Amino acid sequence: MTNTPQSTDAAGKAGLVVSAHSADFVWRAAGTIAAHVAQGYRMKVVCLSFGERGESAKLWRKGPQMTESTVKAARREEAQRAADILGTEIEFFDLGDYPLRVNDEALFRLVDVYRDLQPSFVLSHSEKDPYNFDHPLAMHVAQEARIIAQAEGHRPGEKIIGAPAVFAFEPHQTEQCEWMPNTFIDITEVWERKRAAIECMAGQEHLWDYYTRVALQRGVQAKRNIGITATRDIKYAEGLMRLTPTVTGVLA
Amino acid sequence: MTNTPQSTDAAGKAGLVVSAHSADFVWRAAGTIAAHVAQGYRMKVVCLSFGERGESAKLWRKGPQMTESTVKAARREEAQRAADILGTEIEFFDLGDYPLRVNDEALFRLVDVYRDLQPSFVLSHSEKDPYNFDHPLAMHVAQEARIIAQAEGHRPGEKIIGAPAVFAFEPHQTEQCEWMPNTFIDITEVWERKRAAIECMAGQEHLWDYYTRVALQRGVQAKRNIGITATRDIKYAEGLMRLTPTVTGVLA
Amino acid sequence: MTNTPQSTDAAGKAGLVVSAHSADFVWRAAGTIAAHVAQGYRMKVVCLSFGERGESAKLWRKGPQMTESTVKAARREEAQRAADILGTEIEFFDLGDYPLRVNDEALFRLVDVYRDLQPSFVLSHSEKDPYNFDHPLAMHVAQEARIIAQAEGHRPGEKIIGAPAVFAFEPHQTEQCEWMPNTFIDITEVWERKRAAIECMAGQEHLWDYYTRVALQRGVQAKRNIGITATRDIKYAEGLMRLTPTVTGVLA
Amino acid sequence: MTNTPQSTDAAGKAGLVVSAHSADFVWRAAGTIAAHVAQGYRMKVVCLSFGERGESAKLWRKGPQMTESTVKAARREEAQRAADILGTEIEFFDLGDYPLRVNDEALFRLVDVYRDLQPSFVLSHSEKDPYNFDHPLAMHVAQEARIIAQAEGHRPGEKIIGAPAVFAFEPHQTEQCEWMPNTFIDITEVWERKRAAIECMAGQEHLWDYYTRVALQRGVQAKRNIGITATRDIKYAEGLMRLTPTVTGVLA
Amino acid sequence: MTNTPQSTDAAGKAGLVVSAHSADFVWRAAGTIAAHVAQGYRMKVVCLSFGERGESAKLWRKGPQMTESTVKAARREEAQRAADILGTEIEFFDLGDYPLRVNDEALFRLVDVYRDLQPSFVLSHSEKDPYNFDHPLAMHVAQEARIIAQAEGHRPGEKIIGAPAVFAFEPHQTEQCEWMPNTFIDITEVWERKRAAIECMAGQEHLWDYYTRVALQRGVQAKRNIGITATRDIKYAEGLMRLTPTVTGVLA
Amino acid sequence: MTNTPQSTDAAGKAGLVVSAHSADFVWRAAGTIAAHVAQGYRMKVVCLSFGERGESAKLWRKGPQMTESTVKAARREEAQRAADILGTEIEFFDLGDYPLRVNDEALFRLVDVYRDLQPSFVLSHSEKDPYNFDHPLAMHVAQEARIIAQAEGHRPGEKIIGAPAVFAFEPHQTEQCEWMPNTFIDITEVWERKRAAIECMAGQEHLWDYYTRVALQRGVQAKRNIGITATRDIKYAEGLMRLTPTVTGVLA
């Protein structure tokens, strides 16, 4: 692959994923997570909420015995299993959804995660999403916490972080969200793992094939963007929108 | 540098620079050129014009003995010397400037350059420049030729090209050109070479310090974008705007 | 009119208007309201505030006997009369203005309105307005409440809503607000009603002719956009900016 | 479908499709074409070129016996068969591709098509496409011819056209083209016809499944945009970007 | 007026207006022209075409005796009378319209106008106009000629120009043209003159009241933008979009 | 300078600067402040925070004896000295930083400043800044307070303000902030004063030369934008982005 930076040594490297609801990281970033785990990265997912109100329709339809508490438990269990399959850590902030609200206490908890993890990149939602206002808020918080984690005056004496690259993963209706994939990750080798994680999401089975098709389309596009003369085959890919500049010594 | 793709083997690799006028490649891309030459890339600059009418004010002021022919010769000699210092090939299309006009014959000549060179990236001007309409045209032609060079039906039997990454180098007044540096190249180690190339441009001495300051500012910004905790020092940099997606296996 | 969807049966159909201040819905959407009432829609206006501080200059100038309470009462009475003329329901949230602040309690009250009304479309302000920060907030809340009203987990058991189309009505200085009318409503037949509603706004008489001219200009533009060969005459129109996609079986 | 304008009488109605290369109309608009044919519209496709150089790689690889002439004949035959399946007229301008060049003679020929057809809408490519410069040119020409066809002073005495709505159909990599689907057409009932037309394109078999997945994804999105409470099922859809305003009497 | 630069001495000052068709400068810039004439500026209008094909519908409808030649003569006479009323010079390039085409000979003729006039500002159309492709072309040419007129190598020895400010005057449907008035000119004192110039345009009487209302609306907006506490009254105004930066010593 | 509005009488005129952290106004607006003070304006800076956590790294590194209180005192002293050198008033709101949070009490305090000062212009940060979320918030608050200060119903009886022009001063990485300098202020004559103010910022010495280079680059650009034929020399300048329209009687 002509455009691939080769990380020959990922020792000590880490990546963070900030997910508004407990299933978002699976549809949108499971391949990227698994691919980095396979290269030795420590990966961590923070779920700001369980998506218990807005993204659990199928669970609620089970009947009146369902409560916010039982729905949250079911969602937590699904997300934990997916994380285990992908090999990533996962932490639940349980802040509520529809609407998600993030106070400064939660913000500082996320700062702590950054400082502990020292990630070289962070993934979260698109900055605009007219279908879901929790998503842009998650990205906003992910960036605000990143900035605070860089500040020496926040809990002086702690080890600050560098400048982890910020990426927005793929929203459901990309064009309405003004999201553009300027980065494609080849996830062909970890595809089975992503599909297995997807299948943990019993409550949203209607999305399984949707996101399988997304991976196939992004695979075709990734291949197009390295040129048909490239020998490497890419079948499945994830698209990401990089928001921060790249600093490099070689272009391609 | 945390975000650097490491090209361990540049054997057979090449890069193309499409410059509207004969000095543009120096101010805007000399560091990138020199850095890739240093890594073993074959680099080639195509100058669509000499900038004899629009960018040679100082030469014209030498007096009535100056003609288009003498100005062009002086501009050619300056550009050739700069290219030699940088270690890049250079080819002059001599299409005229203010206004630059590119017919299909010239377009196909550029296609031939692509097919011969087989570059993995191409650099040209910003897609908008209200101060200079030759600049966006050069970028347009650089992209159109790239697309044609990919087509099997253009001179069937010739070796087509892959999908070289497209970058816009820095214009004079970046914000008016809607240009944003999403990529920084560390040129600290080749800075002396860039400054030497700049000093070949006797006719535009007022720009020497301007572009030295540009390199210093971009250096500060590049450092900021890898984080103050990074150990690597960057003093001089060039900013580039990548227009085509990156395909990669690792994010940062 | 070539581009008109014909609603042959509006039985049970409804539309919602979310107005930051108590007069906004008149200047910007009275024609659309009246036109839909005439077709049998149930229409409802929610006024988040009375505009008592920021849009009642003329009332305040009456002298020191004016208090927030008397100004609000006067504004309420004007808005109620306009609503009666237009044939729309109206509800006042009385949240205050300059600045408008919307807490979650008010947000959920608006969710209740959505679920009760089951509208097929909602109108509110432009998403940007540098002259008035209450306006974009009203639109933000209108959209956030719409999303929550769709969530099965919000007050499980209640009837959720579908996907009402979202429109931004015309702000005072359209271009500064990055607002574009991609939809024109012919209000020629209900114009007299709109003008009568406008004349209820005794406190803002300077705007009567301004918005009459707006209606005439939009009428000319609407006619231009169906083509001069169209037989239908349009004298008055309102422009709207549709934010959500249209799903249709026929284009035009 | 809540947002559907119902055209009860399509008698005399027509639609135009301007396709840069001879297969574009199939991938991007075959469903829309078939759906309108089914409702009684006269549909016409204009292919500006055969795509003989840039989009016929598989044909060229058949061997040295292939010439521009044989490739064009093969492409013409495929497009004609697809048009027949869809029930649309088709006309070939044979202007060449990679690069497509349109002189004023060809422009006026397209004006004649407009005036003869008197379409109520026109479909063409996205206004930007960094992967293919022929595409935006086709859209530019489609719009320029539309404007000239409206001018009474162009061939005075001829019947001018009204203001056909302009739509951009879906490009290959939507986000890179700054294309957004603000209109979805339900093509479920004509899907088999579209797939049959697609299968005429023997030279681009790698795209068959790609565009089948596109239709499925757009189907899911269309359903989302009418709301999950809507009773109508949509399985396949096409996305379009409407560029001209809608003039209507009812919103949704 | 708080934001007004006071030109205490306009001696030797000049302004240029580049109009695609012979009436455009009247609707869109007559007030600005008259206001500067009143302050002693030399003003000059260049009409690239007469608008004989696209903007003379009423003339063509007079019957079969009308020819391109008679229509052009009528349009020329109207424009000349308007120019006389406004006190501006006017020059007709007669390049044809719908479509307007500008070759390099015409471009250089416009360069000559710049160098002769030495304007401190230039006005032309919006850079985008989906309703009229001649308009953006006129602006493009106005800017390209401006750049060439600055080049010492274009006809060396001639007096080059400085950097005249570039403004786009108001298009017919502003929002569709992505045009924003960042500059308002108070034309109250010269309004009668503008109206008189407008009434020269016998062939487009339907636009007289339209552009009178435009002037009234822009007047209200201009007043709003200096604040209601300002003592100066503005009844009529023109909106302009400044494209080039302001260089100043005082902000407001 | 051709584009300069000449304020012949600044008696009673004033300007406001809203700075997120206590040093921002120096790097970004000290020249503009000093230039207006020199012309007789009353200038006032409001520092919303001291930047004690996010912009005082060097102070924190002095050792464990540093506390938030000592850091704030040091920052206050630096800012006060810079203000004294520039001749501007300064007021500290001490709201905290990283993250800055502004409640309605602080908002109304800023409204009071507007009403007391009656400024003809206000300067604050860019509306977007991915490197620093306190900056856009400061601009938001600056604009919201401006709107409230215009409302007669806010503390009725107080003197409301007019419509002060709003400018965004230069952020650190301009292009990433979507900031464009549409206004250049010549600060050549007050440069020494700005440099002296800069040198008060002992804690951020690494920025001294950075912002000196910024001033030189903007000087070159300002000169370019008045044209090389202009006689006036500009060596140092500041770039500003004007957000509100200009109302004027003469263009240039």
The string of pLDDT tens digits covering residues D33-53 is: 999 999 999 999 999 999 999
- Quick check: D248 and C3 CB within 8 A? yes
- Would you state the pLDDT for residue D198? 98
Residue of chain C whose alpha carbon sits nearest to that of F144: C133
**pLDDT score of E232:** 81
CB-count exposure of residue C223 (10 Å: 0-12, 13-18, 19+): buried
CA distance E97 to E92: 13
| pLDDT of A149 higher than 60 | yes
Instruction: Examine the pLDDT at C1 and tell me if it is beyond 70.
Output: no
User: CB-CB: which of A183, A226, A250 is closest to B163?
Assistant: A226
E195 occurs within a structural domain: yes
Minimum Cα–Cα distance from F220: chain E residue: E247
The reported pLDDT for the residue numbered D3 is: 41
Average confidence (pLDDT) over D128-135:
98
Q: For residue D229, what pLDDT band results from cuts at 50, 70 and 90?
A: confident
Which residues of chain E are modeled with pLDDT < 50? Answer: 1-8
Query: Over 60: is that where the pLDDT of D2 sits?
Result: no
Output the CA torsion sign for B147, B153, B154, B160. Answer: positive
Average pLDDT over residues A45-74: 95
A191 vs F2, more confident: A191
Option in A173, A180, A216 nearest D213 (CB): A216
CB contact (8 A) between residue E162 and residue F2: yes
Q: How far apart are CA B56 and CA F214, in angstroms?
A: 26
The whole-angstrom distance between A168's CA and the closest CA on chain F is 14
At A231 the pLDDT is 77
Q: What pLDDT sits at residue C194? A: 98
Q: Pick from A176, A213, A221: which is nearest to D217 by CB?
A: A213
Question: Is B1 inside a domain boundary?
Answer: no
* Interface mutation target, options F105, F154, F178, chain C, most CBs of C under 10 Å: F154
Buried b (16+ CB within 10 A) or exposed e, D66-89: beeeebbebbbebbebbbebbbbb
Predicted local distance difference test score (pLDDT) of residue B145: 98
* pLDDT number for residue F204: 86
Q: B interface mutation test: which of A43, A218, A248 has the most B CBs within 10 A? A: A248
Q: Residue A201: its pLDDT value, please? A: 94
Q: Closest partner residue to A98 among C148, C243, C245, by Cβ?
A: C148
The pLDDT score that the predictor gives to residue A34 is 98
Number of folded domains in chain E? 1
Partners of E160 on chain F (C-beta within 8 Å) are 229
Share of chain D above pLDDT 90, in %: 90
pLDDT of F61 over the 60 cut: yes
Tokens of B212: 């030295």
Confirm whether E221 is domain-assigned. yes
- Chain F residues at the A interface, defined by Cβ less than 8 Å, are 52-54, 56-57, 60-61, 64, 66, 68, 71, 98-99, 101, 130-133, 176
Residue linked to tokens 């581009």: C3
Chains touching chain E through at least 3 C-beta pairs below 8 angstroms are: B, C, D, F
Distance between the two ends of chain A, CA-based, in angstroms? Answer: 10
Please report the pLDDT score of residue C9 as a whole number: 57
pLDDT for the residue F202:
87
Q: Which of C144, C157, C244 sits opposite A99 (nearest CB)?
A: C144
Number of H helices, E strands in chain C: 7, 8
Mean pLDDT across the stretch A48-63? Answer: 94
Q: What is the CATH number of the domain that holds B119?
A: 3.40.50.10320
pTM of the model: 0.96
ipTM confidence score: 0.94
Give yes or no for a contact between C156 and A60, defined as CB atoms under 8 angstroms apart. yes
What is the reported pLDDT for B9? 58
Helical pair F24-38 and F191-198, crossing angle rounded to 10 deg? 150
pLDDT band at D6 (very low <50, low <70, confident <90, very high): very low
Q: Do E186 and F227 touch (CB under 8 A)?
A: no
Of A54, A68, A176, the CB nearest to C151: A54
Domain range for E105: 14-242
Is residue C208 classed exposed, middle or buried when 0-12, 13-18 and 19+ CB atoms within 10 A define those classes?
middle
- The answer to whether position E247 is within a domain reads no
Q: B90 lies in a domain?
A: yes
For residue A9, the model assigns a pLDDT of 58
Q: Evaluate if residue F164 carries a pLDDT over 70.
A: yes
User: Are E176 and D151 inside 8 Å of each other by CB?
Assistant: no
Size of interface B-E (CB pairs under 8 A): 45
For residues D63 and E99, the model is more confident at E99
pLDDT (average), residues C185-211:
95
Q: Residue C127 half-sphere exposure, CB side, CA atoms within 13 Å?
A: 13
A56: chain C residues, CB-CB within 8 Å: 152-153
Q: Is residue A250 part of a domain?
A: no
Report the gap between the CA of F157 and the closest CA in chain C (Å). Answer: 8
- Mean of pLDDT values over B139-164: 97
Residue listed under structure tokens 């098509």:
D113
pLDDT of residue F9: 58
Q: How many CB pairs under 8 A join C and D?
A: 181
Q: DSSP H helical segments within A39-190, as ranges?
A: 57-60, 68-86, 104-117, 134-149
**Which tokens hold the place of C41?**
């829609």
* Close Cβ partners of A69 (under 8 Å, ≥ 6 residues apart): none
- Closest-CA distance, E171 to chain C, in angstroms, reads 12
Residues of D in contact with C226 (CB under 8 A): 162-163, 247
- Could you tell me if residue D39 is inside a domain? yes
The alpha carbon of E54 is separated from its chain's Cα centroid by a whole number of angstroms, namely 18
Nearest chain D CA: its distance from C34 CA (Å): 11
Residue C227 and residue D162: Cβ atoms within 8 Å?
yes
Q: Is residue D224 part of a domain?
A: yes
Confidence of residue D4 (pLDDT cuts 50, 70, 90): very low
From the list C143, C151, C156, the residue facing A130 with the nearest CB is: C143
CB contact under 8 A, A162 and B251: no
Residue F184 DSSP SS3: strand
- DSSP character for F153? T
Reduced to 3 states, what is the DSSP secondary structure of residue C116?
Answer: helix
> Pairing state of beta strands C183-186 and C237-242?
antiparallel
Query: Does pLDDT of B4 surpass 70?
Result: no
Distance from the B56 Cα atom to the nearest Cα atom in chain E, whole angstroms = 7
Can chain F be said to touch chain D, i.e. do they have 3 or more Cβ pairs within 8 angstroms?
no
Determine, for residues B54 and E104 on separate chains, whether the beta-carbon distance falls below 8 Å.
no
Predicted confidence band of residue B228 (pLDDT cuts 50, 70, 90): confident
Partner-chain contact A133 C147, CB within 8 Å:
yes
**Torsion over CA of A250, B1, B6 and B8, rounded to 10 degrees?**
110
State whether B180 and F175 contact (CB < 8 Å).
Answer: yes
Q: Establish, for the pair of chains B and D, how many residue pairs have beta carbons separated by less than 8 Å.
A: 45
Q: What is the pLDDT of residue A202?
A: 87
Q: What percent of chain C has pLDDT over 70?
A: 96
Instruction: Report, as an integer, the average pLDDT of F165-171.
Output: 98
d(CA E214, CA E172): 10
